[in-house]
Chains A and B, each alone.
Chain A
Amino acid sequence: QSALTQPASVSGSPGQSITISCTGTTSDVGDYNYVSWYQLHPGRAPKLIIFDVSNRPSGVSHRFSGSKSGNTASLTISGLQPEDEGDYYCSSYTSTNTLGVFGTGTKVTVV
């Protein structure tokens, strides 16, 4: 099972919006609305920020939003803040493997 494809890095200035893509196939992202996004910071527990394509868990900032078009899911961070720096991973249910698939990961830098 191949990983979902994400850009290696995305950067933006404080206050800007950035979008991270997560490209899969019709066996995962394209056919199922079970896409989640996670934020990772070194030494800290990873955090779920989007589930089921576009839903935000309680307590997650409204600056984070998710969407999907065809085989590509997207995470948009609006009003970029320094604390948004970190690694972001998508994941999806897949029909080709019992356990789901993660994306390749994207490093977000606030410049």
Chain B
Amino acid sequence: QVQLVDTGGGLVKPGGSLRLSCAASGFTFSDYYMSWIRQVPGKGLEWVSYISSSGSPIYYADSVKGRFTASRDDTKNSLYLQMNSLSAEDTAVYYCARSPHRLVPTFDYWGQGTLVTVSS
């Protein structure tokens, strides 16, 4: 069955960096667009990044543009999110999700999420 496993979260100081990973299984990873979505504690969901099945184009929310970089490695069935210049506003649970349609916010499978805490 389809499974997405998010890892890499943790505590990081403001200005620091973190790399999240998402291991996919149970489907042909290279056929699908993938997304990163986050939920700030007590707040709503935000679509952070979207990467096409070919790896390009990649889109970012304005709130992370220039600081976050999404990538994928189809040989490892994995999705990544490199997060730099982190601030307290980036504290959130980060989910990877499968996007069956191009640039439509339908996410049919999600990871369990990984918590990123930015604090000194």
Task: Give chain A's interface residues, CB within 8 Å of chain B.
Answer: 3, 34, 36, 38, 40, 43-48, 51-52, 57, 89, 91-93, 98-105
B interface, CB within 8 angstroms of A: 4, 39, 44-47, 50, 59-61, 95, 97, 101, 103-113
Q: Are A100 and B44 in contact (CB under 8 A)?
A: no
Contact B47 A45 (CB under 8 A): no
Name the distance in Å between A105's Cβ and chain B's nearest Cβ.
5
Residue pairs across A and B with Cβ atoms less than 8 A apart, 23 shown, are A34-B106, A36-B105, A36-B107, A44-B112, A45-B110, A45-B111, A46-B95, A46-B107, A48-B110, A51-B106, A52-B106, A57-B108, A89-B45, A91-B45, A91-B47, A93-B103, A93-B105, A98-B103, A99-B103, A102-B44, A102-B47, A102-B105, A105-B44
Which 9 pairs show the lowest CB-CB distances between chains A and B?
A100-B105, A91-B105, A102-B45, A99-B47, A46-B110, A45-B110, A45-B112, A51-B106, A36-B106
